[in-house]
Structure 1
Amino acid sequence: MQARLSSATDLTGFRNEARELLAHQVPPDQVHWETQQAVDTDLFAGPAQGSDQVRTSKGIPRAATAIVPASFLRLCEVVVLHSDPQRFSLLYRLLWRLVHEPTLRNDPIDPDMLLAQQMAQAVRRDLHKMKAFLRFRQVPDDERPGEVLHVAWFEPAHHIVEAVAPWFARRFAGMHWAILTPERSVRWDGEKLAFGPGGSRDDAPPADAGEDLWLTYYRSIFNPARLNLPQMRKEMPRQYWDNLPESKLIGELAAEANERSAAMIEQPAQAPQRRIPRPVADDPVVTLKQDGIHSLADLKAATMRCRECPIGELATQSVNGEGRLHAPLMLVGEQPGDQEDLQGHPFIGPAGKLLDRALEAVGVPRDAVFVSNAVKHFKFELRGKRRIHKSPTQREAAACLHWLEDEIVLVKPKALVALGATAARSLMGHAVAVTAERGKWLERADGLKVLVTLHPSALLRLQDADREEGFAAFVADLKKARAFLDKHA
């Protein structure tokens, strides 16, 4: 019996024909599969039209619909793209055996199944190679006068054009392009894909100005010390070299590799660039002048572009202090949290709400103090989609110290409140045992008083039974700050 498919990749037709054959109990060795090359049919536009139904005897009863593993259907989707003319016979034979030999699905070394998986792997490899080794060239677009069309020539080993075209449409959605292959062509106009017959290498455009720029870039990034020709030929087989502009440089660069490697070895070693915190001057005003800061706005702009430690490269933005200038009291925490990083304001997350509650309990309005952090960027660790707070290291806090000192000089507070160990270390210049020193006034080298207490986030980590007691102790510490505030109001 003959089973005809409308194209070389007619998966829908194959499923329909195979379903009919299986329902009429036609064994694989009695079926001959034929395909006719599609010309203008879009494979993914819908079910194939015009597939001849298999001729079967009317007297043969239909069997029940077969149920096969979903993994076999996914395997079929890939294997039908293979160029082997016996691929449909193989798939129908596997389908027949899955129905009549249930143990096949658990046999990892069955020859037919191994062959199908090898075909699928070859198709996937061809898909990857087309994505990696296809190069566009610019030509005038006949359909859009004054515009350019990017055209590429590629010779795939299998029938993959329809399967890979949507990827190129997503990858190069903003430009108009066309891909030519010996059997199939595809064009993207910015909105939809149009498939057509194949072409020849002569239809591909010659080199353009952009190609010279690409070759210059390729030559500049070539590292002779990492050259491995056997591995390169394995990953980039010679069959693709004719389509790659950079292939003309491979021989030249490979011949020069040993000489260039020796020259690189003879060059003196370069000292690595280290992120070392800049020392802070004994006089805070001197630090301010070294940073070139004249206002809080200048400080914000400077911290936004700061890369003296790795935190600034990953944070959304810097989060500087807020409040009124010359506030008698300046509260300093550790670093901004997730919400602070997103919105750009200090102490607006859960810890900030607890701080507001404590200030309200002691009768201090939030706008009567200046609130800031020792570190100006949010350090975090990704866990799934969540950004989990991670404490800054001493080096990272030291890198941010001069920004904190600049802020203190600009605000000119009468006293400081250190919320937590990181803030206490930054303000005092040495480690402070917060548990032992909490509620005490310490004095900095410049004469400023520093009240040490816990960070509000430490209270959030307490059990419910201990949280109220811890909050009461925190309020008691802030009452000492309130007494100082009343004295210097």
Structure 2
Amino acid sequence: MRRVILAPGADLDGFRRAARALVTESVAPDDVVFEDDGTASLLPEAQIAEAPPLALPKTVPPIVKDVAMHRDPERWALLYALIWRVANGERRLPEIVADPLMHRLHIMRRNIGRDIHKMHAFVRFRKVEGAEPERFAAWFEPEHHILRAVGPFFRDRFGAMLWSIHTPDGSILWDRERLAYGPPGRPEDAPAHDGFEEGWREYYGAIFNPARVNPTAMRAEMPKKYWKNLPEAELIPDLVRGAASRVGGMMDREPTRPTKREPRAALAALDAGARPRTLDELAAMIRAYEPPQDFSPKAVIGEGPVAPLIAFVGEQPGDVEDLEGRPFVGPAGRLLAKALGEVGIDRDACYVTNAVKHFKFVARGKRRIHQKPSLGEIKHYRWWLMEELTLVRPRLTVALGATALTALAGEAMPLMRSRGPARFETNGLVLPGFVTVHPSWLLRLPDEDAKAAGYESFLRDLAAAKDEAQRLAG
């Protein structure tokens, strides 16, 4: 039995060296034990020369990189089992999501993506009193070893500040020039409150919509374990308790006709120049918007990891998406997931959203029939979409269909002539893009031959988009 000792946390370099040496020596997964004990990475029984890199499919390194951040002590054994099987002939194993090993690894990757998203959303910086020059600090308790994965996000988002984030695993420090990682911190390393929070609590209470209170959904989006870090959290119990009476007061007042509001009006209550700093803040703005009467009042927010390889933008939620509150879960979404699997794109590693955030329909009996959004409606939602993509930061943005293309380009464009690589602009940045059809178009084709030909063409587009995204990622 071989014993491999790795440094605590995400010792990716140590694991790679050990995995190369083990595969070179033909050591099977059942004959090796991985341990974390804080020493340098080594194979104690013998000093092994640096082994050459392994020729692995492109889909394997991203899995290894993500799962290495997981806190499960079995992660190294699971990753070595993946590498061993791929190196011994199972080259398509990463694409077989039904395989028990891949199923578990995909769940672990999703856990990492959620943890990164939660840290992006729920870190709250507070001003350090008396610090010269002005400095901010935050305390956070991530579930996994994600510090080095989130550091660049906070550097890019708060580059003009001096700040530090302290966690039980380590610290991140930014001095406006260099990002550094330090030893574990303590809660008292960050202030418990600061003067800005009173104004923020007043704003949060003002935008709280009692007619849309859903405590279960609130806890899913903002788990209670993070409330101690959030100044607005102390208001939530009283706001929820008073929601029923506030709704009654709203119903007793004179009804008003809903009016179309430009999305920028959602920022009017914020301080001048403020913009959403996180996807959760953006989602709150979208949910607070009351769409026209021919739209469902329920907003469907995009979902997926931040900084993905690919973001897919569709038209608008359909009937199923509106009922479930998630994008791309209806027939078109299932067809997209099937096509992504066939070209080797991990659906869970992509970000998916829609250009229009509410379902537009006409009621016919008990059925709700989809209605295509107008050009004005597409442009009306465009600000939110571009803010969303600015926060998500995908390597490649794929427009699915004409509505998505119009929203991303800012003007009506011919879909079929635009099909292929593209460039979109948002907030002064240029987004590399790709244009293809919406999967719902494939479902509407008149006969099976046309559907088969359309689907093969769609697969070629997705494969080309995958290659372009990987090229951009380097």
Q: Which runs of 5+ in 2 are unaligned?
A: 262-375, 381-404, 415-474
Which string of whole-angstrom CA distances, capped at 9 and with x for unpartnered residues, describes residues 315-343 of structure 1? Answer: xxxxxxxxxxxxxxxxxxxxxxxxxxxxx
Tell me how far 1:270 sits from its aligned partner: 2.3
* Structure-1 residue corresponding to 2:145: 159
Q: Quick check: 1:18–1:92 contact (8 Å CA) kept in 2?
A: yes
Structure 1 length normalisation: TM-score?
0.51
* Structure-2 residue corresponding to 1:202: 188
Which string of whole-angstrom CA distances, capped at 9 and with x for unpartnered residues, describes residues 382-430 of structure 1? Answer: 486585599xxxxxxxxxxxxxxxxxxxxxxxxxxxxxxxxxxxxxxxx
* Structure-2 residue corresponding to 1:253: 239
Q: Which amino acid aligns with 1:25?
A: S
Are residue 52 (structure 1) and residue 53 (structure 2) matched?
no
Are residue 170 (structure 1) and residue 156 (structure 2) matched?
yes
Q: Quick check: 2:5–2:43 contact (8 Å CA) kept in 1?
A: yes
* Structure-1 residue corresponding to 2:109: 120
Tell me how far 1:64 sits from its aligned partner: 8.8
Q: Quick check: 1:137–1:151 contact (8 Å CA) kept in 2?
A: yes
Write the distance in 1 (CA, Å) between the matches of 2:108 and 2:413: 48
Q: Quick check: 1:186–1:196 contact (8 Å CA) kept in 2?
A: yes
Q: Mapping of 1:331-480 within 5 angstroms? A: 382=406, 385=409, 387=411
1:109 to 77, 98, 108: 98
Write the distance in 2 (CA, Å) between the matches of 1:62 and 1:9: 20
* Structure-2 residue corresponding to 1:180: 166
* Structure-2 residue corresponding to 1:12: 13
SS of residue in 2 equivalent to 1:179: strand
RMSD, matched Cα = 3.1
Write the distance in 1 (CA, Å) between the matches of 2:63 and 2:20: 17
Counterparts in 2 of 1:153 and 1:109: CA distance versus 1, 3 Å: same
Q: Which runs of 5+ in 1 are unaligned?
A: 39-49, 276-309, 315-380, 391-489
Are residue 78 (structure 1) and residue 66 (structure 2) matched?
yes
Tell me how far 1:164 sits from its aligned partner: 0.3
Are residue 23 (structure 1) and residue 24 (structure 2) matched?
yes
* Structure-1 residue corresponding to 2:216: 230
1:137 to 126, 130, 155: 126
Write the distance in 2 (CA, Å) between the matches of 1:89 and 1:274: 56
Q: Quick check: 2:169–2:183 contact (8 Å CA) kept in 1?
A: yes
Aligned length: 274
Tell me how far 1:271 sits from its aligned partner: 4.2
Counterparts in 2 of 1:249 and 1:274: CA distance versus 1, 3 Å: closer
Write the distance in 2 (CA, Å) between the matches of 1:198 and 1:235: 27
Q: Which amino acid aligns with 1:90?
A: L
Tell me how far 1:237 sits from its aligned partner: 1.4
Q: Quick check: 1:173–1:190 contact (8 Å CA) kept in 2?
A: yes
Write the distance in 2 (CA, Å) between the matches of 1:62 and 1:274: 65
SS of residue in 2 equivalent to 1:85: coil
Counterparts in 2 of 1:65 and 1:212: CA distance versus 1, 3 Å: closer
Write the distance in 2 (CA, Å) between the matches of 1:220 and 1:6: 48
Q: Quick check: 1:137–1:207 contact (8 Å CA) kept in 2?
A: yes
Q: Quick check: 1:24–1:56 contact (8 Å CA) kept in 2?
A: no
* Structure-2 residue corresponding to 1:3: 4
Counterparts in 2 of 1:250 and 1:37: CA distance versus 1, 3 Å: farther
Counterparts in 2 of 1:186 and 1:33: CA distance versus 1, 3 Å: same
Write the distance in 2 (CA, Å) between the matches of 1:180 and 1:163: 15
Tell me how far 1:37 sits from its aligned partner: 4.6
Write the distance in 2 (CA, Å) between the matches of 1:57 and 1:10: 19
Q: Quick check: 2:171–2:184 contact (8 Å CA) kept in 1?
A: yes
Counterparts in 2 of 1:169 and 1:274: CA distance versus 1, 3 Å: closer
Q: Quick check: 1:141–1:149 contact (8 Å CA) kept in 2?
A: no
* Structure-1 residue corresponding to 2:254: 268
Counterparts in 2 of 1:225 and 1:62: CA distance versus 1, 3 Å: closer
Q: Quick check: 1:25–1:63 contact (8 Å CA) kept in 2?
A: no
Write the distance in 2 (CA, Å) between the matches of 1:221 and 1:64: 58
Q: Quick check: 2:17–2:51 contact (8 Å CA) kept in 1?
A: no
Write the distance in 2 (CA, Å) between the matches of 1:77 and 1:6: 15
Q: Which amino acid aligns with 1:52?
A: L
Tell me which moved more, 92-101 or 109-118.
92-101
Tell me how far 1:140 sits from its aligned partner: 3.5
Q: Which amino acid aligns with 2:20?
A: R
Which string of whole-angstrom CA distances, capped at 9 and with x for unpartnered residues, describes residues 224-257 of structure 1? Answer: 0010001111121111111111111111000000
Q: Quick check: 2:201–2:232 contact (8 Å CA) kept in 1?
A: yes
